[in-house]
Amino acid sequence: MGVMELKPKTIYSFSRLTSVDSCAYGFYKSYVLEEKGEANAFALGGSFGHELCEGVAKKEITTQKASARFKAEWFEKVYLDYPKFPSGYDLKSHYYKKCQPFFDRKAYWKGEVVSVEEHVVFTLPSGEKFQGFIDLVIKQDNSSIDFVDWKISKKFSKEDLIKKQRQLYLYAYAYHQIHGVYPKRLIFSFFQDASSPIIIDFQKYYMDEAVQWAELQIGKIKLMTGLDEFEPNINDLMEPDGSRNMYCNALCNHRSSCKFVEGNFFKRDVE
């Protein structure tokens, strides 16, 4: 394997910073070799859901049309399923049923649309460039703004929320840098749980923590420069029986081409 070399003008993103913790080798393939890999059902379903919500926000389609498209196109858009699930378990059908109530609603959010999929490019305190897309910015009656981020995942646990909210806090840092204002609330809206969004009142302390975390992650990536080997943390990616876990077996874009797997198992010494 070649030595990792960062591009001179690397622009970082939230996915780039989180992927380095998931698997160093996967990071190497995605962001150094720039191998796109293969899709997965979650990504496909999430992209389709975002497409429908974006169409509604831009007034290109109504919620009724979005609901009709969801029902008519889901199984065409989400054309992959996870491998190695128990016999008879139809994941695409399961998530079709879980997500349908979200798209059957008369309104997907409350407030006036300010921007949709706004691309923000901004500078961290260290001078490093960062970018992201804010799914939806809405304005309330008192002129305050909220960020809405659509997720196909299940509702986050309290522990996961601390990690996930960093994305929107980084976008809040960007939005203030560009527009001079902070959002009042950060909202995670879940396709699988239409009735229970997570609503976070903006706190500058957590934004500062997110910025600090981003700087530390970038430092971690830079420390990898010059290494000539990238191996996954096998213990973190295995189930007790030695098989690959959900991320490694079904979510990783390189799950079929990874040199560290043989069949459904890691190449490893078994005691």
- What are the structural domains, with CATH classification, of the chain? 11-38+231-266 (no CATH), 41-103 (no CATH), 113-214 (3.90.320.10)
| Most confident range, picked from 65-74, 235-244, 253-262 | 65-74
Distance CA 172, CA 188 (A): 14
Stretch 104-127: mean pLDDT: 96
Ramachandran category for residue 161: left, alpha or beta (phi over 0 → left; psi -120 to 50 → alpha): alpha
State yes or no: pLDDT of 170 exceeds 90.
Answer: yes
Percent of the chain residues topping a pLDDT of 70: 87
What pLDDT score was predicted for residue 259?
Answer: 80
Distance CA 24, CA 41 (A): 23
What pLDDT score was predicted for residue 40?
Answer: 84
What pLDDT score was predicted for residue 270?
Answer: 40
Stretch 180-199: mean pLDDT: 95
User: For residue 223, what pLDDT band results from cuts at 50, 70 and 90?
Assistant: confident
Percent of the chain residues topping a pLDDT of 90: 58
State yes or no: pLDDT of 262 exceeds 80.
Answer: no
| CB of 234 closer than 8 Å to CB of 265 | no
Mean pLDDT of the chain: 87
Q: Determine the residue type at 186.
A: L
State yes or no: pLDDT of 123 exceeds 90.
Answer: yes
User: For residue 230, what pLDDT band results from cuts at 50, 70 and 90?
Assistant: confident
State yes or no: pLDDT of 261 exceeds 80.
Answer: no
Helices (H), ranges, 9-84: 14-22, 24-27, 41-57, 63-77
Stretch 171-192: mean pLDDT: 97
Both tokens of residue 238? 């295995």
| CB of 44 closer than 8 Å to CB of 51 | no
Distance CA 271, CA 257 (A): 26
What pLDDT score was predicted for residue 84?
Answer: 47
State yes or no: pLDDT of 271 exceeds 50.
Answer: no
Nearest to 148 by CA among 117, 122, 174, 119: 117
State yes or no: pLDDT of 86 exceeds 70.
Answer: no
Stretch 176-189: mean pLDDT: 96
Distance CA 214, CA 229 (A): 24
